[in-house]
Chain A
Amino acid sequence: MAVHMTRSNEIQGSAAGRLLDMLLPRPSSTFLLRSADAPGSILVVDRAVPPTEGRKAVLSTERGLRLATLDSRFDSSRVWGVVTWVIREPS
């Protein structure tokens, strides 16, 4: 399965198109990642969203990208992107 970030004319305006617009409003700055701790789920990460306290975010670290919740002392230069959606199966 491939998710094309560019919308084809065929799905524009359809339910599928509107769902993609909701999940990926800014395709050029949005990345899909998977979480090692929740197999099967997909993280939607937008690099253009300004990070704020309390949000889930992906951080750049010397050991790679890490998922974290931003506390009051977060360093914005280390924020790779902000998690805007988590797509997962109901538990």
Chain B
Amino acid sequence: MGHPGAVLKPCADLLALCDCNNFFVSCERLFRPDLEGRPVVVLSSNDGVVISRSNEIKALGVKMGEPFFRVRSFLERHGAAVFSSNFRLYEEVSARVMASLRRFTPSMEVYSVDEAFLEIPPEGKKKPGEWALDVRAAVLRQTGIPVSVGAAPTKTAAKLAAERAKKRPETGGGFALLPGDPWEDLLGEVPVEDVWGIGRRWSDFLRRRGISTALRLRDAPDDRLEKYLGIRGLRTAWELRGIRCFPIEEREKPQKSIQSSRSFAVPVRDRESLAEAVTEFTLTAGRRLRSQNSLAGSLSVSISTSRFRGSFFGARAEVTLETPTDSDITLMRAAAGALSSIYREGHDYEKAEICLGSLSSAGTVQLRLFGKREDRGAALSRAADRLNGEAGRRLLLPAALLGEKEWHPRKDRHSGMGLEDLEKLPVISAEE
């Protein structure tokens, strides 16, 4: 492959990445100004590991993914506030941040719950740095969530610009990598694994070959890059040269597979409890399947014991469905069958996962409540989605799932707050 400069000109157009700072922690702080400046962490479901850290926690040296039991007393000594994850709240806050951002751009890609790529509008392109700071100020004022905004000609560079904006207070939360500016100082400081799309998967390999920074990745010869990393990796390097390879993808791509899994609060031994858990995960996955208007062609169930205690046992079974479906009833039946084929007695199961695969579009299927059995199941599932959506909780669910579930995640430190459920609104008192 020849040098790309011959055919591909550096992009003069600009886009931006808006990244919420310590997002889950910021959500927990939204109604708790008393936590400003204090160390705060959010734990994964079942209070297993640290998944979001305030800057104070980062300064104390607590790492992402640290098991909670290992840092628990350390956090207590430092007066940290510890929260169980409240994903419903985070999704509600995320929706507001995204709505707030949409007013700044003609085109936007919601990349994750706390990140979005924005096309910079013509008026912003004259002074991208100032535009970035305006966006940050507006989002903070409207939603209460601090964000970092990085502007650059490419997504990969915008990621690095946003990271710089986040790490350096003197930027004020906005930073621009502009075409024609020297990027070498910044790229030279970025470890290669911190480049978007590189990660741990490739960094060890690249480091052994002397490509240890973003700058060295940018300047490596194309033929070597393509040999090492394939076309995706080569494009990543081009993006660091300012050549846009990954455009903003406005339409949300339907997911290719849908997973639903959790670790259990207490290990599960018996078949019935495990079947209940698997049924519940199947319903969660089914709801997501219908919300993206897809049908599943296959379903897999995985179960496993703890990797930290005793001897490890894990198993997985995949079922191909007779016809693609989005009916909870069919999915639950398939999941139950798959589970019974892999369940072994005498193990303390700690985790179960459901994965719906071979997804296809549901198209404009007419749903008839009195049609074929399959149609009835799908119509019933959609009716349940609607009712539960309007109620803001699970009003309609299979009888098998009624009652207290000992395997439900432990959430001792859940803030219990929500933005939309009227039972969960934050309560405030008058000033004395």
Residues of A within 8 A of B (CB): 1-6, 26-29, 31-37, 42-43, 47-48, 58-68, 80
Given A1-B392, A5-B95, decide whether A34 and B144 contact each other with a Cβ distance below 8 A. Answer: no
> What are 11 sample pairs from A and B whose C-beta atoms fall under 8 A apart?
A2-B420, A5-B95, A6-B99, A28-B96, A28-B143, A29-B143, A35-B427, A36-B430, A47-B144, A61-B33, A66-B430
Q: Check B253 for interface membership: any CB of A closer than 8 A.
A: no
- Among residues 95 to 116 in chain B, which have CB atoms less than 8 Å away from a CB atom of chain A? 95-97, 99-100
- B142 contacts A28, C-beta separation under 8 Å: yes
- Please measure, in the bound complex, the distance between the C-alpha atom of A29 and the C-alpha atom of B92, giving whole angstroms: 12
- A36 contacts B427, C-beta separation under 8 Å: yes
Q: Check B366 for interface membership: any CB of A closer than 8 A.
A: no
Query: Nearest Cβ in chain B — how far from A9, in angstroms?
Result: 14
- A34 contacts B429, C-beta separation under 8 Å: no
B36, B391, B428, most chain A CB atoms within 10 A: B428
Given contacts A47-B141, A63-B34, 9 further A-B contacts (CB under 8 A): A26-B142, A28-B100, A29-B100, A36-B428, A37-B429, A60-B33, A66-B431, A67-B428, A67-B431
- Among residues 376 to 400 in chain B, which have CB atoms less than 8 Å away from a CB atom of chain A? 389-393
- A47 contacts B427, C-beta separation under 8 Å: no
A31, A37, A59, A62, most chain B CB atoms within 10 A: A31
A35 CB contact (under 8 Å) in B95, B390, B393, B428: B428
Given A27-B99, A28-B143, decide whether A33 and B425 contact each other with a Cβ distance below 8 A. Answer: yes
Given A1-B391, A1-B422, decide whether A67 and B142 contact each other with a Cβ distance below 8 A. Answer: no
B95, B142, B389, B390, most chain A CB atoms within 10 A: B142
Query: Nearest Cβ in chain B — how far from A29, in angstroms?
Result: 4
B contact residues around A42 at 8 Å (CB): 422, 425
Nearest B residue (CB) for A39 = B427
A2 CB contact (under 8 Å) in B34, B141, B392: B392
- Please measure, in the bound complex, the distance between the C-alpha atom of A64 and the C-alpha atom of B415, giving whole angstroms: 14
Given A1-B392, A29-B100, decide whether A64 and B32 contact each other with a Cβ distance below 8 A. Answer: yes
- Please measure, in the bound complex, the distance between the C-alpha atom of A65 and the C-alpha atom of B143, giving whole angstroms: 15
A contact residues around B99 at 8 Å (CB): 6, 27-28
B431 CB contact (under 8 Å) in A2, A5, A61: A61
B contact residues around A26 at 8 Å (CB): 142
Query: Nearest Cβ in chain B — how far from A76, in angstroms?
Result: 11
B contact residues around A3 at 8 Å (CB): 420, 422
- Among residues 397 to 432 in chain B, which have CB atoms less than 8 Å away from a CB atom of chain A? 419-423, 425-431
- Among residues 114 to 134 in chain B, which have CB atoms less than 8 Å away from a CB atom of chain A? none
Residues of B within 8 A of A (CB): 31-34, 36, 92, 95-97, 99-100, 141-144, 389-393, 419-423, 425-431
- A interface majority secondary structure: strand
- Please measure, in the bound complex, the distance between the C-alpha atom of A18 and the C-alpha atom of B96, giving whole angstroms: 20
A48 CB contact (under 8 Å) in B36, B97, B142, B428: B142
Query: Nearest Cβ in chain A — how far from B32, in angstroms?
Result: 6
Query: Nearest Cβ in chain B — how far from A77, in angstroms?
Result: 11
- A2 contacts B429, C-beta separation under 8 Å: no
Nearest A residue (CB) for B33 = A60
Given A6-B95, A42-B425, decide whether A80 and B33 contact each other with a Cβ distance below 8 A. Answer: yes
B429 CB contact (under 8 Å) in A5, A29, A35, A80: A35
- A2 contacts B421, C-beta separation under 8 Å: yes
B contact residues around A29 at 8 Å (CB): 96, 100, 141-143
B contact residues around A66 at 8 Å (CB): 428-431
- B425 contacts A34, C-beta separation under 8 Å: yes
- A47 contacts B142, C-beta separation under 8 Å: yes
B contact residues around A37 at 8 Å (CB): 429-430
A contact residues around B92 at 8 Å (CB): 5
- A2 contacts B144, C-beta separation under 8 Å: no
Nearest B residue (CB) for A62 = B34
- B422 contacts A32, C-beta separation under 8 Å: yes
- B420 contacts A36, C-beta separation under 8 Å: no
A contact residues around B143 at 8 Å (CB): 28-29, 47
Given A27-B96, A27-B99, A28-B96, decide whether A2 and B391 contact each other with a Cβ distance below 8 A. Answer: yes
- B33 contacts A64, C-beta separation under 8 Å: yes
- Please measure, in the bound complex, the distance between the C-alpha atom of A37 and the C-alpha atom of B96, giving whole angstroms: 28
- B419 contacts A32, C-beta separation under 8 Å: yes
- Please measure, in the bound complex, the distance between the C-alpha atom of A2 and the C-alpha atom of B419, giving whole angstroms: 9
Given A34-B427, A34-B428, A65-B31, decide whether A80 and B421 contact each other with a Cβ distance below 8 A. Answer: no
